Chains A and B, each alone.
Chain A
Amino acid sequence: MEKTINQKAWFLVLPVLVLVAFSAVIPLMTVVNYSVQDTFGQNQFFWAGLEWFDEMLHSERMWDALGRQLMFSAIILTIQIPLGVFVALNMPKSGFWSSFCLVVMSLPLLIPWNVVGTIWQIFGRVDIGLLGYSLDALGISYNYTQNTFAAWVTIIIMDVWHWTSLVALLAFAGLKSIPDAYYQAAKIDQASRWAIFRYIELPKMMGVLMIAILLRFMDSFMIYTEPFVVTGGGPGNATTLLSIDLVKMALGQFDLGPAAAFSIMYYLVILLISWVFYTVMINLDKREG
Chain B
Amino acid sequence: MSDATAHPVSQTTSQPKKRLKIKVSVVVMTLYLLFLMLPIYWLLNMSLKTNTEVLNEFTLWPRNLTFANYATILTDPAWYSGYINSIIYVVMNTVISLTVALPAAYAFSRYRFMGDSHLFFWLLTNRMAPPAVFALPFFQLYSSVGLFDTHIAVALAHCLFNVPLAVWILEGFMRGVPKEIDETAYIDGYSFGRFFVKIFMPLIASGIGVAAFFCFMFSWVELLLSRTLTTVDAKPISAIMTRTQGAAGIDWGVLAAAGVLTIVPGALVIYFVRNYIAKGFALGRV
Interface residues of A (CB under 8 A from B): 1-10, 12-13, 15-17, 19-20, 22-24, 26-28, 30-31, 86-87, 89-92, 99, 101-115, 118-120, 122-123, 127-131, 133, 161, 165-166, 169-170, 172-174, 176-177, 180, 184, 207-208, 211, 218, 221-222, 224-225, 229, 242-244, 246-247, 250-251, 256, 259, 263, 266-267, 270-271, 274-275, 278, 285
Contacts and interface: CB of A to CB of B under 8 A. Distances in A.
A86 B125 CA distance: 30
Q: Sort chain B's interface into a size bin.
A: 35 or more
B113 A115 contact: no
A221 B130 contact: yes
Interface string B8-24: 00000000000000001
User: For the complex, would chain A's binding face be called helix, strand, loop or mixed by DSSP majority?
Assistant: helix
B112 A6 contact: yes
Nearest to B264: A110
B131 A224 contact: yes
Nearest to A207: B285
Nearest to A93: B1
Contact of A278 (B55, B112, B124, B237): B124
Given A5-B111, A119-B259, A173-B282, A266 B130 contact: yes
Nearest to A29: B137
A130 B277 CA distance: 31
A170 B126 CA distance: 22
Given A105-B33, A115-B241, A170-B278, A24 B42 contact: no
A211 B113 contact: no
Contacts of B108: 13
A58 B163 CA distance: 37
A105 B266 CA distance: 12
Interface string B36-70: 11111011001000000011001010000000000
Contacts of A271: 125, 128
Nearest to A137: B58
Given A24-B160, A180-B3, 5 more contacts: A9-B107, A111-B263, A115-B241, A122-B46, A274-B128
A251 B228 contact: yes
B285 A208 contact: yes
Contacts of A247: 132, 135, 224
Contacts, number: 291
B28 A87 contact: yes
A40 B209 CA distance: 51
Given A3-B110, A28-B137, A130-B38, A222 B270 contact: no
Interface stretch (B71-79, B98-106, B197-205): B98-106
28 contacts: A5-B111, A5-B112, A9-B111, A13-B103, A13-B108, A15-B103, A16-B101, A22-B156, A26-B137, A28-B129, A30-B137, A87-B29, A102-B275, A109-B217, A112-B222, A114-B238, A115-B259, A118-B241, A118-B245, A123-B43, A128-B58, A170-B281, A177-B286, A208-B285, A222-B132, A229-B242, A251-B228, A263-B130
